[in-house]
Amino acid sequence: MAAGGHHEDTFHHVRDYPHFELPFGIEIGLPNIFGFQLTKFMVLQVVAGLIVFFIFRGLAKRVNSSGPVRGRWWNFWETLALYIRDEVVRPTIGDPHHAHHEHGEPLNGHNGSAVAGHAEGVGHSNAHSVIEAGEVHGGTIAAGHPADKYLPFIWTCFFYVLICNLLGAIPWMGSATGEINVTAMLALSVFGYVIFCGSQISGPGGFWLSLVPSMDLPAALKVVLVPVLWVIEFFGFLIKHGVLAVRLFANIMAGHTVIAVILGFIALTAGSGLWYGVMPASVLGQVAIGMLELFVAFLQAYVFAFLATLFVSAAIHPH
């Protein structure tokens, strides 16, 4: 957060503040509750979580109904969920136990619709799964693929990041994912989940030992080489998750900054003859960048979810 005089800051459009800025210099302040200051990005993160909750609570109810999901709005979200399942999670993770599993019929028998589960299973962004995958039988859920047990977390990552990104396309809102502290916590949640999943497969000790692949080396050489390789792999493990935070933050912040700079050309040329040429060019440029930002919002959510899936896959398929 910045203090007063933040308009002198080149990046003030993408920073977090204890208020929402509206046109004509209007500011809507946020309360300080018992010494805890609420900020714009905190509010937007809650809004993103609620949007994810209500969308997928409604979608889960429709999947559990007697017919296929209908309506463009619900089909849109179902399509995204199925894409993440079929093109990211299942092929990337595969079967961590290398056991034979029967895939059976399409979930719920709705022409392959697999976004199923109890509506009560839908939760907030970082705390619960968005929706549960599987076929419902008498109140229980049978997973349709061994990798589906990891779907709730990956779905949550994708849709939460996506909604946070899209909120930045609304005037006078902002993208919480353009704040490094937010993306750092998202990366930390992936870090913890990866360790949890790896420990489930290999055990807590086995997971950390598996960072170094088994090598057929003389015992004397192993004593020297293995600890060195483990330290290198451990720091690589930390860096990968750190890059996950920086990548998302940098891409979202850069897009909003470019839009602000392009519009700033209008103010810089005000009162001069250049304004008549710069103003329409800046507005058109802003519209073009804005359309690109919509694409980037989806792309970065996909990249975050895909990398999280890769990290989970690496953890449950040790060297």
Residues 264-282 pLDDT 10s: 777 777 777 777 777 788 7
For 190, the enclosing helix (H) or strand (E) is helix 180-202
The DSSP 8-state label assigned to residue 87 in this structure reads I
Phi-psi region of 206 (alpha: psi -120 to 50; beta: other; left: phi over 0): alpha
Fill in the amino acid letter for 53. F
Q: Taking the model in full, what pTM does it have?
A: 0.77
At 219 the three-state DSSP class reads: helix
Residue 168, token pair as written in the block: 């930045």
Q: pLDDT (tens digit, 9 = 90+) per residue, 36-76?
A: 999 999 999 999 999 999 999 999 998 888 778 888 999 99
% of the chain surpassing 90 pLDDT = 43
Is it the case that residue 82 has pLDDT exceeding 90?
yes
The DSSP 8-state label assigned to residue 141 in this structure reads E
* Residues facing 37 on adjacent strands: 32
Using an 8 Å Cβ cutoff, are 265 and 282 in contact? yes
pLDDT band at 234 (very low <50, low <70, confident <90, very high): very high
Region 242-258: what's the mean pLDDT? 87
According to the model, what pLDDT value does residue 108 have?
Answer: 40
Please provide residue 173's backbone torsions phi and psi, each rounded to the nearest 5 degrees. Answer: -100, -115
Q: pLDDT (tens digit, 9 = 90+) per residue, 97-131?
A: 653 344 333 434 344 444 433 333 333 333 334 34
pLDDT band at 9 (very low <50, low <70, confident <90, very high): low
pLDDT band at 319 (very low <50, low <70, confident <90, very high): low
According to the model, what pLDDT value does residue 274 have?
Answer: 79
DSSP per-residue codes, 292-316:
HHHHHHHHHHHHHHHHHHHHHHHHH
How far lies 213's CA from each of 17, 204, 255, 316, in Å?
A: 47, 16, 40, 14
pLDDT band at 186 (very low <50, low <70, confident <90, very high): very high
Q: Comparing 120-129, 196-205, 284-293, 295-304, which segment has the lowest mean pLDDT? A: 120-129
- pLDDT, mean over the chain: 79
Residue 313, token pair as written in the block: 């896959």
CA–CA dist 76, 64 (Å, integer): 17
Contacts 24+ apart (CB under 8 A), 309-312: 309/88, 309/89, 309/92, 309/93, 309/150, 309/154, 310/92, 311/190, 311/194, 311/240, 311/241, 311/244, 312/93, 312/150, 312/153, 312/154, 312/193, 312/194, 312/197
